[in-house]
Structure 1
């Protein structure tokens, strides 16, 4: 027995110029589902998490146009904020726990429902305060590029 949690990245909306990356991401999701079926008889559960925009120190490494876009990302998320590393970790801990003993072959999207929307329909206006981030790590780091969005 055992439990495996694969890490994916958003591939649902498509990204121009990134077809090769999207294909690999989709392949990993299919592998997750296939392995869950193939290895279930041995008591092995296989799931995946797919984080969306997560505040991390990596955001400070981007340059130019993309770095300028980072502070605006939350406008495209129904929960009106960027996710936290703690929220990704909490989903992984759940999937590895006995509480998820009957969960296998699934991908949990940790993206504030960003992957569920359509660019054709605008999001409702809202305030980031309506959805509070879970910050379970005492050493959590808010990227400099997001400092002006602190609560």
Structure 2
């Protein structure tokens, strides 16, 4: 039996990380969650570089939840690099951010984001939103073979 593909959560805010993990758990989403706290770490994980040099890069995550406002390398640049590489070009990427900037939304979709979700400020709405995202991308969505 194949193992479940992990979720890559690219998030630098420890509170949002904890809330996301809680929401996934509360919604009985059992996939492993790999945390990258900046854009460089996310790309290192995906491409097997840096501290992830020994990772099997043929095993991609089921979905990437990507914040935009990240240290070292912002989320839009991470998205651009994901889409530019044939190994990850079809990887589902959901932008999950606090940004309400129209330019960020347009740029994210222009660069190939599969979805753009604003993080709700309300705790219960945040839990519900992340739970719905997890259910959709991990239970309902059909992944492209990569």
Normalised TM-score (structure 1): 0.29
Greater C-alpha Rg: 1
Between the two structures, name the one with larger relative contact order (CA 8 Å, sep ≥ 6). Answer: 1
TM-score for both structures, normalised by structure 2: 0.30
